[in-house]
A and B are shown apart, each in its own frame.
Chain A
């Protein structure tokens, strides 16, 4: 019989330490985490976040669509609608108070390339150096 078990080596998305994880995948579904013993940073040890690094993926509280607050309530919206709203508001604030009225928070859950693009947007397009991120330990 054909079995489907994979151990996928990756890096923890929670902080700047960058611990090594082996994500367990069974039948194409996440099935837990094992520490990566040969990883030079973490050497087979993880914190509580690393052990549970995959929990958010299928968590019922996870947002699966953009939400826009209308009349005091969050309502599901399309990406086009959400991005138009964000860009209109950012442009309005920058015009009214200058680009340093804005800050850009990058994320450890994105790739290096995505974070590069975010700071490029901040510096090159909006014109502010207010860039920071959650992994700055």
Chain B
């Protein structure tokens, strides 16, 4: 039976309160004046403002907090995609797993459907019931209805809408490079729109999904002000990496992303 969102929220608050007895803080969503944002709850804080929606890539916030406070031990209310992001950050040695405690939250079937999510739950579920895997209908339709030529025309049209905000990169939990190839003048001319096809977008795609980093959290697509369906491209590349290298980003702590092996 499906639990009401009220009950889920109560259970998450209880789990966070329990975690705060031993941790320095817990990253979760908080609402203030109708604005929901990532928040670091600390021991003694009132948990009344803790909410579960709308979804943010919380692994990004965990990554940034631990970069500033490497000694801290923090928890995070993590959905399946947040946990996969963290696992991938562990594998890339960007976050130390010994400093993170995951409070696993399973997404509701409605949330899973909205995100077209293949695995809408973390490996250890503390709150909620794991919902069934949802097929990515957008991806399936793209594959079923377009010839090669139509796909090329499709991406030319989509990428021409790009206003080069770099939001897809800035919001990505796995975009952690200090220096970004998308700002390298050799590849990307400064101050020029539309961006060169397909270089700009393929740099992003290859350096994330192509490098075996994309966990299909769809944060990039949600942040895109031009509504470019980036998840189609990244999911296809994720498949390629799985087939070619047997590697699935965020699936397990192997410590060996495929680009490490060829380095």
Contacts and interface: CB of A to CB of B under 8 A. Distances in A.
Are A and B associated in one complex?
A: yes
Interface of A: 1-3, 5-7, 9, 20, 22, 24, 26-27, 31-39, 44-48, 50-51
Contacts of A27: 68
A134 B56 CA distance: 32
B85 to A, nearest CB: 15
A77 to B, nearest CB: 34
B37 A3 contact: no
B223 A45 contact: yes
B64 A22 contact: no
Contact of B38 (A3, A20, A22, A47): A22
Given A9-B35, A9-B37, A37-B54, A51 B166 contact: yes
A111 B5 CA distance: 39
Interface in B207-236: 222-225
Given A3-B25, A5-B65, A45-B167, A35 B223 contact: yes
Contacts of B54: 37-38, 44
A68 B32 CA distance: 43
A50 B164 CA distance: 12
B47 interface: no
Contacts of A5: 25, 40, 61, 64-65, 68
A118 B165 CA distance: 32
B144 interface: no
B71 interface: yes
Contacts of B71: 1
Nearest to B71: A1
Given A32-B64, A46-B223, A51 B35 contact: no
B72 interface: yes
B4 to A, nearest CB: 21
Nearest to B65: A5
A39 B35 contact: yes
Contacts of A50: 165
A35 B36 contact: no
